[in-house]
Structure 1
Amino acid sequence: MFALVMGVVIGLILPLQTSINSRLRRSVGSPFVASLISFTIGTLFLAVVTLGVDHHLFFSPHLFSQQPAWLWIGGLFGVVYLTCNILLFPQLGSVQTVILPMFGQILMGLLIDNFGWFHAKVSPLTPVRLGGAVLVLIGVIVTVALSTWLLNRRDTLTPSARSAQLGLWLWRLLGIGAGMLGAAQSAINGHLGLVLKSSLNAAFISFFVGTLALIVVNLVLRSPRQLIHPDHQPNPWWMWLGGVIGALFVLGNVYLVPILGTGLTVVIVLVGLMGGSLLIDNFGWLDSKRNPVTLVQIVGLLIMIGGVALIHLA
């Protein structure tokens, strides 16, 4: 029972990370600086935990020549995933920022499993798993497209409004693409954990690589080094906690998968994810824009959960 509750809790806190990092972006003026701060804090947190459990952080340099080059780029995909979420949140709100990357993750996960990419165990795309994927797609369409259509059906959209709607769909496609990279990162880090014989060490290495990449990106872009007060109020203390929440999410999954199995862990965490995103959107927590949740969105999310359960528990 404790493991089930923990799965829901770590799912609930992940949407908080996106809200927190979006608020941090407003204070530092750049999504790349916000991502760097989040990755750095998460890396330091994972370093402490990894040292406490494994008593070491790094590995033999010989692995660079013995293993494929893609084994070390999981952190780069993590950078894209996190930064895209920071960009998506103010455009789409919490619910869509969660479900669109989630759909991308499921789509890419099915491809990875079916073809055995990144040395993953081959799990053929059976009719049941395909049916689950179709349910997830229907859930996304109901939550995003149907909900938007119902809101706008009584209004005659002006050319500028149509352009804005097109822009939103481009953001949504970006969210799906970011989710696909997130699934690739998970597969890469999973194999890295096997190579290093430690999931914790693999998580630390992934965060460490992402931090180094973001340092380079910020130097190249000459990102501003500033801390402003966008609302002419003191910056909240919690805006620095995004990296810790991301690290706790990783650690929670490392703990739960051996106990519940991968399939049940994914479903339980997804329930928490959906619940957290609905609460943030509906109540405007953590200085986020309030987007009241509709019954159509809830129905769509339930369809998505059913599809994910079919994919992972069949």
Structure 2
Amino acid sequence: MTAPSPSLLPVLGAGLLTVIAGAAMSLQGRANGFLGAVLGHAVFAALISFVTGLLIVSAVLLCSARSRRAAIALLGLLRTRALPWWMLLGGLSGGLVVIAQATTVPVMGVAMFTMAFVSGQITGGLIVDATRLPPGGKQRLSALRILGVLVVIAALVYGAHERIGLGVPLWAPLLPFASGSLTAAQQACNGRIRAATGSAVVATAVNFTVGLIALGLATAVIMVAGVGWAGFPTQPDQWWILLGGALGVLFIAFTALTVARLGVLLLSLFSLFGNLAGALLLDWLLPIPGSLVSPTTILSALGVLAGIVITLMPSAGSPRGPACRT
């Protein structure tokens, strides 16, 4: 068997990291879904998730002199307008993702949430990659890249059709689809911050800080409207539902590192496969009401893999080079 070419190895390495990040997202979805049910509202679960994530990133930032220098450099870039301020808003999308998880995972399971989320993610990725927003620059839309995305979408629709037929409400996939679409822009913005500062830690910290501010405001609004906290995880077997923030840190940090190498579309496809594979394992090993692992779902996952392979073919577009500096 011929070994992968040297130019392809960095892409495959970045792809593997992104698959791991996607698998972490599926576990985050299950954790935040349960946490929202315990706390009484999806926004409360998102707030706790972002508080946990920001504490972890802040600890890393304080312990790393390199990351602190990168944070100071980011302030300088914003002051001189070398980096547009609106690139800091990626965290708003992250907050919407967690709210979507906590709202819809208990209704339709992790796998169905994943199918809706990544449909929006790859659609957004195809659009964002055609702009100059990604850190690796604009990437041409070849016929194979478009075909790969169409294969993925077809596979996801095939798998989702079975769930809709079992009674999942039609509105349920819309929220994760919208959050997935915005995630493509979030990943590009995080990648630009990482490229400009040389630090994935700083990009992750910005993401969680902005998201936490937005979720804090949302929490205040719904509490004024009369929604109160229903409780807090107290059972020994519930400790893992507080890990959503830590898993979010893993996802944001890994994708901020790999987006410049892969581009937003390929990053979305690798993340999608890891997310879907993790979701299938969760719904199979730890099923909840609404979750289902059937031959249809497995065939859907295989179709996603086929779409990734098509998009990775050499004529689909050249691999990304090193991140460009802003």
Tell me the alpha carbon deviations over residues 93-128 of structure 1, each in whole angstroms, 9 at most, x when there is no partner.
111111221121111111111133467611121111
Q: Aligned to 1:170, what secondary structure does the other structure show?
A: coil
The answer to whether the 8 A contact 1:281-1:289 is kept is no
Q: Give the letter for the 1:236 counterpart.
A: Q
> 1:68 aligned to 2:84?
yes
Give the equivalent residue in structure 2 for 1:34.
45
CA RMSD of aligned residues (A): 3.0
Distance 1:184 1:225, change over 3 A: same
The CA deviation at 1:226 is 4.5
The answer to whether the 8 A contact 2:194-2:257 is kept is no
The CA deviation at 1:242 is 1.0
Q: Aligned to 1:193, what secondary structure does the other structure show?
A: helix
Write the mapping of 1:283-302 to structure 2, written as runs, cut at 5 A: 283-284=285-286, 288-289=288-289, 291-302=291-302
Q: Give the letter for the 1:307 counterpart.
A: G
- Rounded to whole Å, the distance in 2 between the matches of 1:62 and 1:148 is 47
Q: Give the letter for the 2:108 counterpart.
A: L
Q: Aligned to 2:190, what secondary structure does the other structure show?
A: helix
Partner residue of 2:138 out of 122, 133, 144: 122
Give the equivalent residue in structure 1 for 2:114.
98
The CA deviation at 1:302 is 0.9
Distance 1:64 1:26, change over 3 A: farther
Distance 1:269 1:220, change over 3 A: closer
The CA deviation at 1:308 is 2.8
Superposition TM-score, scaled by structure 1 size: 0.82
Superposition TM-score, scaled by structure 2 size: 0.79
Greater RCO, 1 or 2 (C-alpha within 8 Å, sep 6+): 1
Distance 1:117 1:8, change over 3 A: closer
Give the equivalent residue in structure 2 for 1:158.
none
- Rounded to whole Å, the distance in 1 between the matches of 2:86 and 2:257 is 25
Distance 1:7 1:113, change over 3 A: closer
- Rounded to whole Å, the distance in 1 between the matches of 2:266 and 2:130 is 20
Tell me the alpha carbon deviations over residues 27-61 of structure 1, each in whole angstroms, 9 at most, x when there is no partner.
21111111011001101111222333324145426
- Rounded to whole Å, the distance in 2 between the matches of 1:11 and 1:139 is 18
Distance 1:104 1:202, change over 3 A: same
User: Can you give the 5+ residue segments of structure 1 that lack an aligned partner in the other structure?
Assistant: 153-163
The CA deviation at 1:191 is 1.4
Distance 1:64 1:216, change over 3 A: farther
Q: Give the letter for the 1:213 counterpart.
A: A
- Rounded to whole Å, the distance in 1 between the matches of 2:192 and 2:121 is 17
> 1:273 aligned to 2:275?
yes
> 1:21 aligned to 2:32?
yes
- Rounded to whole Å, the distance in 1 between the matches of 2:243 and 2:52 is 8
- Rounded to whole Å, the distance in 2 between the matches of 1:221 and 1:29 is 11
- Rounded to whole Å, the distance in 2 between the matches of 1:265 and 1:181 is 14
Q: Give the letter for the 1:33 counterpart.
A: F
- Rounded to whole Å, the distance in 2 between the matches of 1:250 and 1:70 is 18
The CA deviation at 1:306 is 1.4
Write the mapping of 1:121-270 to structure 2, written as runs, cut at 5 A: 121-145=137-161, 147-148=162-163, 168-222=169-223, 223-227=227-231, 236-254=238-256, 269-270=271-272
Q: Give the letter for the 1:95 counterpart.
A: A
- Rounded to whole Å, the distance in 2 between the matches of 1:272 and 1:118 is 22
- Rounded to whole Å, the distance in 1 between the matches of 2:258 and 2:85 is 29
- Rounded to whole Å, the distance in 2 between the matches of 1:108 and 1:255 is 19
- Rounded to whole Å, the distance in 2 between the matches of 1:188 and 1:265 is 13
Q: Aligned to 2:293, what secondary structure does the other structure show?
A: coil
Give the equivalent residue in structure 2 for 1:307.
307
- Rounded to whole Å, the distance in 1 between the matches of 2:100 and 2:230 is 21
Distance 1:247 1:228, change over 3 A: closer
The CA deviation at 1:283 is 2.7
What is the number of residues matched between the two proteins? Answer: 294
Q: Aligned to 2:209, what secondary structure does the other structure show?
A: helix
The CA deviation at 1:264 is 7.4
The answer to whether the 8 A contact 2:67-2:202 is kept is no
Distance 1:128 1:23, change over 3 A: same
Q: Aligned to 1:73, what secondary structure does the other structure show?
A: helix
Distance 1:290 1:170, change over 3 A: closer
